[in-house]
Structure 1
Amino acid sequence: MKKQNIKLSNLNNDDGCCGCSSTHTAPNSENKSRIKAYIPAIISFVMLVTGIALDYFEVSFFQDWLRLAWYSIAYIPVGFPVIKEGWNAIKRGDFFTEFFLMTIATVGAFAIGHYEEGVAVMLFYAVGELFQNSAVQKARGNIKALLDVRPNEALVYRGKKYSSVAPEEVTIGEKIQVRVGEKIPLDGILLSNKASVNTAAITGESKPSSLQQGDEVYAGSINLDGVIEIETTKAFNDSSIAKILHLVQNATSRKSKTELFIRKFARVYTPIVVFLAISVTLLPYFLVDDYVFQDWLYRALIFLVISCPCALVVSIPLGYFGGLGAASRNGILFKGASFLDAITKINTVVMDKTGTVTKGVFQIKEIKSYNSSESEMMQYLLAMEAQSTHPIAKALLEYKTESKKFEATDVKEIAGKGLKGIVNNKMVLVGNKALMTTNTIDAAVETETIVETIVMIAIDGKFSGYVTISDELKEDAHQAIKQIRDIGISNIIMLSGDKPSITEKIGRELKLQKAIGGLLPEDKLNEVEALKRIPGTKVAFIGDGINDAPVIAVSDVGIAMGGLGSDVAIETADVIIQTDQPSKIARAIKIGRSTRKIVWQNIALAFGVKLIVLILGAGGIATMWEAVFADVGVTFLAILNAIRLQRMQWS
């Protein structure tokens, strides 16, 4: 949703997106910019209060042209930006905006001599806009800036040496080198004997991939173990990571952007009020005998002052400000007030698995031993794994044993299968089922049905047991699903790049409607777009990886895990959960619903009171005191209602 804001000093537009860039100003500069934005309103406020005091004490020199000049100067800092926006809108063919109504209402107040009313009304409007902007800027300040996930350089073999060049300059068929911890810059074929890479950015796969010579490698993956060499097979613009970034860009452009209520309201309300005011001025000429133009013009101008939507333009942004603040205190960042509205319409929740409902960290799940105690079997296994740098080995080495540690010798790695070595003068095999089969060792039948990653061990030619490794569910995963159902959303789906068997198992454990694994980013995108084509379906997608960014962008509300989530996912999302707790999803929806409820209460209050006073004003009964109540009084009541959001508690 996009709301056009007036520019008060350095006030930025709230376009419903973060608007952050990779370069940020220093904190002192940002603080100065924020203070500068409030200067026009402060000047107008000081001059208004001073003018009202001079009027109250009937100071002799504060009369006629001096009084008009004083209030006119007070009006300009907050009024000129609104008049300018109204004029620009008229030039674009958009006559009936809130800027136009604010202008004619306040100028009308000046025309009938109520200068202080004109300044006060415009000041309230300006302060409301500043509140709105302050809320969004606060949220933006807590959101990580977008970092370019594309590799910055590629070490390409040219002229009998490796030279650093931009990935875009590397051609197909060239040889590149990737060091430990670096991102692979282009898609290609592995030339080195082996490699261990983290492909989470591309597939969302929770387990690092072990590759052999000749296997495909993808740009954006991270090299985990040793320097490797790759022969490029695609230009950078055709690489996997470039396609993901392209998907993000296109999905963002397809995301619907509707306007906040105040824009829709102004387009209907403003022309009605303007034409009614004209009617109040001119129609009595044909209906009454003692028609006096000045008297009816006076009523029409009072009518315009009463009709000024101050309560709405202040309390609506303030209501959203309260919602944004309440969410922020609960570790939830909305990138704009529009998404507080959008999240209330969600009826389908789709989520990633790894890093969203699971921790994304390997843990020992089960240990099963045969022919020996668990402790003894693990000593043999740990002695072997101590010789490996594989991520799974690191997870196994977290196992604590008080017994004396064994030492392994003559350890050899068998490509794609595991390890072979000597421990306590016994031949030990540690690895997968293929390793056991190759050495004619029969694994336990029960291992056939295990879906998690499994590490088997054989000692002296006998199958001795196994250890299963899995990615743990987050502590609040079950609670999160229950809370989402409790607020009336039953359609909960999981989409993951991880193994289908693991994804389906997690889906059953959480009792989800559907769980689909083995998906690439474009597959996830297709699944969500298919859901969105179902009439009445509004989808929220929750993810954390680069591979989730396209789906986050195209969903009606994109939610990212902000603690360990990728920068692209965080930047693309509409809502950020800072604590990485999936239980905050339901809380975000609750806050959005409460905010919307209070905003609509304020709308009803403002309309109800103003309708009554407008009728009285048109009949010549209402004075400027009633106008003040219909404007300032209702605004005050609406503000009190809006700040209730700051005190609410969400379980």
Structure 2
Amino acid sequence: MNESKNPASDISCCEPEITAPKNKKSAFFEWKDWKHPLFSLALLLGAIPLEFGAGGYFFSGWVRPLWYVMAYLPVALPVLSRAWSLIRKGEVFTEFFLMGLATLGAFAIGEYPEGVAVMLFYAVGELFQEAAVKKAKGNIQALLDMRPDRVTVWRNGQLHLVAPETVNPGETVQYKAGERVALDGKLQGEGGLFNTAALTGESLPRLIGTEEDVLAGMVILDRVVDIRVTKPFQESTIARILKLVQGAAARKAKTEQFIRKFAKVYTPMVTYLALALVVVPWFFVPEYDFSTWLYRALVFLVISCPCALVISIPLGYFGGIGAASKNGILFKGSNFLDLMAKVNTVVMDKTGTLTRGTFEVVKTVSTGGSLDESWKSLAADLERSSMHPIARSIVTHITPNLQDKLPVVSEQIEIAGMGIIGKIGNKAVIVGNHRLMLQQEVQGMITVVEPGRSVVHVAIDGIHQGYFLIADTLKVDAKKAISDLQKCGIKELFILSGDRQHVTDSVAKELGITQAFGELLPEEKANLLTSIQSTPNRIVAFVGDGINDAPVLALADVGIAMGGLGSDVAIETADVVIQTDQPTKIAKAIQIGRFTRQVVWQNILLAFGVKLAVLILGATGMASMWEAVFADVGVALLAILNAVRIQYR
């Protein structure tokens, strides 16, 4: 689709662009930005007593218009210059053209103070707009600010200070306490404490262990660390986030698309109406006065300038994207902010979304065998050789330090779906499920039923010693996430999982969700989601881990990837990426979407309502240029301030 580049007729001209800062953030009040408006304001205020006779003979003749021309030019020249350059390109009907025509017309009929005031307040409004844009993109700009331009890399046994773009995967980079990580990698040596707030929005530091992932944007807090690089600079986490957010502006909400189309018709239409307001009365008004009707037409032009719309609407949506980014939520476009505001049904995967996605030993029980608590260590020693997730959970729970001297295990047999048999020293050890114990004719065997948990029995020398209860535990904020969604008015909640039905039911019951479906293959999930969507008026968000759930993420009205920074599938498929593993962010994303939409429509109604009222008053001669200034610049400022509120969500 071809898009106009007309600043007034194409709303995209006023959208904030994200560009890498070359300098530190500037303060709101900078002399270079405000010196011209302040000079014009001083002259305009200084003219007030002169207008009422304080200047005597001095403020008459050619002095009065010259005074106002001096006040007018500092703020008008940039606008007039911009208007002329666009006219030369064939783009006539722009806000710059409207403001220039209206103020020059005011000078032509001797309304000097009004002409200066309109252009002055327009210039001030532009400065407030720029400040609002800085605020709106501040959280995203912080991502750009955080990218270090130098890193210290080990090469040939020595440290070298180089640009991060020149570091290759496999090289090792050293960071001192307080430095920000520039490239994704694996932590070498002992663990370290990292501030992850820039990526996750969380203030609590995170302890990262040896060979665990460290992402670009994190800050090492406690010591010097070495990190082996796993991805080039261009593919780092921060680079991908920036690419995602920068591309978000290209995807417009339907409201933005409507305003863009409307503006293309609106701007030339009001220009011709203003012209008609001067010409048409000549044929019908008996005592036609050209200056009177020209003044009304100029008032009409100032009122009709679409500043409030072309500034506040994209600023509102961009503010929503920025506010979400601050909370660790990445929207791929303002269209998804709109869709998120309408979501009334949330469908969630279980593993990795509501649960941690890793098995943990939640309980150990001794059944009074011939051994003391040493059976636990023997079981862990036997399980060390297995890569099964349940085996790893037992090892981590009993003997987390894998650097200890490994025991000598002999005659080891791993039976798929049942467990492991082996000898450690002179003891025969069996670790497995109930079926394996019965098969091996273990004495003292008991039956344990624990819905939603896996039971791993342990026998030593043919005698039952005890068992482990193992579960994929709920995330710490899973219950709060469901509560928050219900407070948002989300009444329809579903769990779709590939896990066993009784495990899925157990998690659903604990969370208070009544509709849970387990033992689903990916295509079965997709079919079930389609069935859920078939109910009229349902807007469905699906939340998954972004790896196995890619088909469902693409199929949902809004696909949300949980903790998807490490997953290319999540980045490509999902519409919204939650940078943390916190399900509470789902409700936060809905709240931000709804608040953004609410503010945008407030601005639309405010702009149209005030402008329509003052347009009627201006056309009938009941509104002056001063009311026109309020209807244009005043409403624009109110809309900007309203849009900035989104940043505090």
The TM-score range, normalised by the shorter chain, is 0.5 to 0.7
1:418 to 1:137, Cα distance in 2 relative to 1, 3 A: same
Superposition deviation, residue 412 in structure 1? 0.9
Corresponding residue SS for 1:498: coil
Where does residue 603 of structure 1 map in the other structure? 604
Alpha-carbon contact 2:319-2:644 (below 8 Å) kept = yes
Superposition deviation, residue 347 in structure 1? 0.4
Corresponding residue SS for 1:592: helix
1:445 to 1:589, Cα distance in 2 relative to 1, 3 A: same
* Equivalent-residue separation in structure 1 for 2:81 and 2:396 (angstroms): 65
Alpha-carbon contact 2:76-2:119 (below 8 Å) kept = no
235, 258, 262: which one pairs with 2:254?
A: 258
Where does residue 31 of structure 1 map in the other structure? 21
Corresponding residue SS for 1:546: coil
Cα deviation code 1:509-558 (max 9, x no counterpart): 22224223344444444443443343211122222332334433443333
379, 391, 404: which one pairs with 1:381?
A: 379
Where does residue 340 of structure 2 map in the other structure? 343
* Equivalent-residue separation in structure 1 for 2:510 and 2:4 (angstroms): 46
1:142 to 1:340, Cα distance in 2 relative to 1, 3 A: farther
Query: Which amino acid in structure 1 is aligned with residue 632 of structure 2?
Result: D
Corresponding residue SS for 1:488: coil
Superposition deviation, residue 391 in structure 1? 3.7
Where does residue 513 of structure 2 map in the other structure? 512
Where does residue 284 of structure 1 map in the other structure? 281
Superposition deviation, residue 621 in structure 1? 2.5
Any residues of structure 2 matched to 1:441-520 within 5 Å, and which? 441=442, 446-447=447-448, 450-520=451-521
1:459 to 1:517, Cα distance in 2 relative to 1, 3 A: same
Alpha-carbon contact 1:613-1:626 (below 8 Å) kept = yes
Where does residue 613 of structure 2 map in the other structure? 612
269, 272, 295: which one pairs with 1:298?
A: 295
Where does residue 412 of structure 2 map in the other structure? 412
1:531 to 1:141, Cα distance in 2 relative to 1, 3 A: farther
Superposition deviation, residue 329 in structure 1? 4.0
Where does residue 397 of structure 1 map in the other structure? 395
**Runs of at least 5 residues in structure 1 that lack an aligned partner in the other structure:** 21-28, 91-98, 146-180, 182-251
* Equivalent-residue separation in structure 2 for 1:13 and 1:496 (angstroms): 45
1:282 to 1:497, Cα distance in 2 relative to 1, 3 A: farther
Superposition deviation, residue 305 in structure 1? 0.7
Query: Which amino acid in structure 1 is aligned with residue 579 of structure 2?
Result: Q
* Equivalent-residue separation in structure 1 for 2:568 and 2:366 (angstroms): 43
* Equivalent-residue separation in structure 1 for 2:127 and 2:87 (angstroms): 12
Where does residue 79 of structure 2 map in the other structure? 75
Superposition deviation, residue 83 in structure 1? 6.5
Corresponding residue SS for 1:547: coil
Query: Which amino acid in structure 2 is aligned with residue 30 of structure 1?
Result: A
Alpha-carbon contact 1:408-1:423 (below 8 Å) kept = yes
Query: Which amino acid in structure 2 is aligned with residue 74 of structure 1?
Result: P
Where does residue 627 of structure 2 map in the other structure? 626
Where does residue 559 of structure 1 map in the other structure? 560
* Equivalent-residue separation in structure 2 for 1:42 and 1:376 (angstroms): 76
Alpha-carbon contact 2:302-2:628 (below 8 Å) kept = yes
1:505 to 1:35, Cα distance in 2 relative to 1, 3 A: same
Corresponding residue SS for 2:635: helix
Where does residue 440 of structure 2 map in the other structure? 439
Superposition deviation, residue 44 in structure 1? 7.8
Any residues of structure 2 matched to 1:1-80 within 5 Å, and which? 30-32=20-22, 47-51=36-40, 53=42, 73-75=77-79, 79=83
Alpha-carbon contact 1:139-1:333 (below 8 Å) kept = no
1:408 to 1:501, Cα distance in 2 relative to 1, 3 A: farther
Cα deviation code 1:149-180 (max 9, x no counterpart): xxxxxxxxxxxxxxxxxxxxxxxxxxxxxxxx
* Equivalent-residue separation in structure 2 for 1:413 and 1:582 (angstroms): 41
* Equivalent-residue separation in structure 2 for 1:315 and 1:550 (angstroms): 36
Corresponding residue SS for 1:436: helix
Superposition deviation, residue 300 in structure 1? 1.8
1:14 to 1:644, Cα distance in 2 relative to 1, 3 A: closer
Corresponding residue SS for 2:347: strand
Stretch of structure 1 that moved more, 426-435 or 404-413:
404-413
* Equivalent-residue separation in structure 2 for 1:363 and 1:443 (angstroms): 26
* Equivalent-residue separation in structure 1 for 2:362 and 2:85 (angstroms): 63
Superposition deviation, residue 639 in structure 1? 3.8
Cα deviation code 1:586-643 (max 9, x no counterpart): 2232233333333333333333332332222111232211111222223333444444
Where does residue 231 of structure 1 map in the other structure? none
Query: Which amino acid in structure 1 is aligned with residue 410 of structure 2?
Result: D
* Equivalent-residue separation in structure 2 for 1:430 and 1:315 (angstroms): 65
353, 368, 387: which one pairs with 1:356?
A: 353
1:584 matched to 2:582? The reply is: no
* Equivalent-residue separation in structure 2 for 1:142 and 1:492 (angstroms): 34
Cα deviation code 1:367-403 (max 9, x no counterpart): 343343782431331232234444433311233489x
Alpha-carbon contact 2:37-2:124 (below 8 Å) kept = no
1:501 to 1:305, Cα distance in 2 relative to 1, 3 A: same
Corresponding residue SS for 1:30: coil
Superposition deviation, residue 579 in structure 1? 3.5
1:533 to 1:265, Cα distance in 2 relative to 1, 3 A: farther
Where does residue 227 of structure 2 map in the other structure? none
Stretch of structure 1 that moved more, 106-115 or 454-463:
106-115
Superposition deviation, residue 502 in structure 1? 2.7
1:331 to 1:100, Cα distance in 2 relative to 1, 3 A: same
Where does residue 136 of structure 2 map in the other structure? 135
Corresponding residue SS for 1:304: helix
Alpha-carbon contact 2:564-2:571 (below 8 Å) kept = no
Output the TM-score relative to the length of structure 2: 0.65
* Equivalent-residue separation in structure 2 for 1:340 and 1:2 (angstroms): 24
1:44 to 1:329, Cα distance in 2 relative to 1, 3 A: closer
* Equivalent-residue separation in structure 1 for 2:611 and 2:24 (angstroms): 34
* Equivalent-residue separation in structure 1 for 2:448 and 2:316 (angstroms): 57
* Equivalent-residue separation in structure 2 for 1:526 and 1:428 (angstroms): 45
* Equivalent-residue separation in structure 2 for 1:559 and 1:396 (angstroms): 32
Number of matched pairs: 518
Corresponding residue SS for 1:399: helix
Cα deviation code 1:493-520 (max 9, x no counterpart): 1223434443333223222242233444
Alpha-carbon contact 2:68-2:116 (below 8 Å) kept = no
**Runs of at least 5 residues in structure 2 that lack an aligned partner in the other structure:** 48-58, 108-114, 148-184, 186-247
* Equivalent-residue separation in structure 2 for 1:412 and 1:447 (angstroms): 26
1:577 to 1:42, Cα distance in 2 relative to 1, 3 A: farther
Query: Which amino acid in structure 2 is aligned with residue 312 of structure 1?
Result: L
* Equivalent-residue separation in structure 2 for 1:514 and 1:256 (angstroms): 34
Cα deviation code 1:280-323 (max 9, x no counterpart): 33442343112345542431221021122323333444444554
1:84 to 1:265, Cα distance in 2 relative to 1, 3 A: farther
Alpha-carbon contact 2:6-2:94 (below 8 Å) kept = no
* Equivalent-residue separation in structure 2 for 1:76 and 1:512 (angstroms): 62
Where does residue 537 of structure 2 map in the other structure? 536
Query: Which amino acid in structure 1 is aligned with residue 477 of structure 2?
Result: D
1:64 to 1:464, Cα distance in 2 relative to 1, 3 A: closer
Corresponding residue SS for 2:472: strand
Stretch of structure 1 that moved more, 314-323 or 479-488:
314-323
1:477 to 1:65, Cα distance in 2 relative to 1, 3 A: closer
Corresponding residue SS for 1:430: strand
Any residues of structure 2 matched to 1:162-311 within 5 Å, and which? 258-260=254-256, 262-263=259-260, 266=263, 270=267, 273-274=270-271, 276-293=273-290, 295-311=292-308
Output the TM-score relative to the length of structure 1: 0.65
